[in-house]
Amino acid sequence: MQILIRYGLFTPLGADLTLSGFLFALLMIATVSIAAAGNIINDIYDVEIDYINKPEKVIIGKKITEKNANYLFIILNVIGVGLGFYISNQIGKPEFSGYFVVISALLYLYATFIKSIPIFGNVIVSALVAFSLLIVGLFDLLPAINFLNQDYQSFIFGILLNYSFFAFYINLMREIVKDIEDINGDKNGELSTLPIILGRKRTSYIVFGMTVLAMFGTVYYIYIHLYNYTYAVVYFLLFTLAPLLYFSIKIWDAKNKSDYTFLSKLLKIIMLLGMCSILLYTFVII
């Protein structure tokens, strides 16, 4: 997604960029390293839960010891935060290095206790997903803003902001669906997720309502920004609105774990297709 944003949106639209190709590659490595570290620490704390929810995917204790997993967690965080410091200083924004420290800390706190707080844990993870997109704009667009280009740079950053919100919202839906899917293991782990508190069916109805809002939001976005561009309208109708409509039908009737597993994967696809629409802006604006 970071590659798509830089080379599918910023570069074709002629934005003034700050990062060299090398520094951009380091930004991606830093992002992946910290995200991987977050996954590792989450797996370490979720071993017992994962043996119930997804026993075939358990790695800690099978393919790697907990001790080595902790070492890997530390190494990846050092790489991610260290690269963040380097990149921030190279572009003359040393204060930006704080983003990497905060993200690393939030992922650790999520794994240790935040995920047990209903909704809050889902929001934190989804916000971090959205920020992994926004960070490209923060490092590449904002430092290059000057008096002459500030309107255009801000306009492009606004597009990125819209897509980051889309990623946040769809991922939040997916996090809740995953909680429904994993309700048995989460109960065993004494977590207090929304499905445990409200039950599967009531939580499904909440996700259904969120899907309806997402569909209305998509229609509104098309009407305001893309109404005169036929190809863009057709793309959003076929690859965003139609899958959301299908998802809303399936979530209403979902009953068992396999249903929610399918819906979780469907939301991944919807997010990917939605993000790929970034490429349309080359035709819409130029």
Give residue 234's pLDDT. Answer: 93
At 60, phi and psi to the nearest 5? Answer: -65, 125
At 64, phi and psi to the nearest 5? Answer: -150, 140
Residue 147 corresponds to which tokens in the numbers above? 């008096």
Residue among 132, 134, 127, 96 nearest 109 (CA) = 127
pTM of the entire structure? Answer: 0.94
Rounded to an integer, what distance in angstroms lies between the CA atom of residue 272 and that of residue 268? Answer: 6
Rounded to an integer, what distance in angstroms lies between the CA atom of residue 46 and that of residue 146? Answer: 47
- What angle in degrees, to the nearest 10, is found between the helix axes of 242-253 and 257-276? 170
Count CB neighbours of 113 within 10 A.
11
Q: Locate the domains of the chain by residue range.
A: 2-285
At 220, phi and psi to the nearest 5? Answer: -65, -45
Strands (E), 126-263: none
Kind and range of the H or E run holding 100: helix 97-112
Q: What are the pLDDT tens digits along the chain (286 aa)?
A: 999 999 999 999 999 999 999 999 999 999 999 999 999 999 998 888 878 878 888 888 888 898 999 999 999 999 999 999 999 999 999 999 999 999 999 999 999 989 888 899 999 999 999 999 999 999 999 999 999 999 999 999 999 999 999 999 999 999 999 999 988 888 877 788 899 999 999 999 999 999 999 999 999 999 988 888 888 899 999 999 999 999 999 999 998 999 999 999 999 999 999 999 999 887 775 5
Do residues 196 and 183 lie in contact, with contact meaning Cβ atoms separated by under 8 Å? Answer: yes
* 84, amino acid identity: G
Q: Which residues pair with 60 in a beta bridge?
A: 64
CA atoms within 13 A on the CB side of 154: 6
Residue 112 corresponds to which tokens in the numbers above? 């240790």
Rounded to an integer, what distance in angstroms lies between the CA atom of residue 231 and that of residue 84? Answer: 39
Give residue 286's pLDDT. Answer: 53
Give residue 63's pLDDT. Answer: 86
Residue among 258, 265, 267, 252 nearest 201 (CA) = 252
